[in-house]
Chain A
């Protein structure tokens, strides 16, 4: 099954301690692994003030995950996250295509840059003035 890359960000409730957030992270990780996915990266942002209150939460602990998982599994992961206590909100987006596009753009740009630099070098060598 083809694997896709997803980025999952979730907000844990404000009254959860660090250890509880860790267990929550492990639970979410378990959801992904159960669906034949692998977690590539876990990034804890710590407690951050929310831009607006969600329920009774004025702040929340953000946890970001990058996971490789088959496309069919993400809906199940989302469903499980929805019913998990302690998760205020989450967002799971697919990022592999966007990243690929960005990489391609970067490649094109560096090639163009090199071409431009070559032209400038040529000009420096003797083609001065308004010659095109």
Chain B
């Protein structure tokens, strides 16, 4: 069914990300036979030009639970942005603004 591949449909099912969709929602043909929601870089779409290490609020979004840096495949950040985030996190950790790890 071709109408299942429309972008609107992708957006709707995008809420349960990483979850395998219902059998009926499977895409005919293509990769893997089930949906992969296209991830977009949050930093690009929110127009963050300079990732500041002092902006802990922003950086904390990238270090859930164990304070480890969220990999790109989970968050969907683009390569340049991920690099910026990485340096910012390393700097913020150095200055004890965000933790290296949680106890």
Q: Spell out A's residues near B (CB within 8 Å).
A: 9, 11, 50-52, 54, 60, 62, 64, 89, 91, 93, 98-99, 101-103, 105-106, 109
B49 touches A91 (CB 8 A): no
Q: With an 8 A cutoff between CB atoms, is B98 at the interface?
A: yes
Q: A26 to B50: give the CA distance in the assembly, Å.
A: 29
Stretch at the interface among B6-14, B25-33, B69-77, B89-97: B89-97
Q: B34 on the interface (CB 8 Å rule)?
A: no
Q: Check A89/B94 contact, CB under 8 A, given A51-B99, A52-B99, A52-B100.
A: yes
Q: Which residues of B line the A interface, CB within 8 A?
A: 47, 49-50, 54, 91, 93-100
The distance in angstroms between the C-alpha atoms of A45 and B5, with both chains bound, is 52
- Kindly provide the distance from the CB of B97 to the nearest chain A CB, expressed in whole angstroms: 6
Instruction: Kindly state the separation between the CA atoms of A99 and B49 in the bound complex, as whole angstroms.
Output: 9
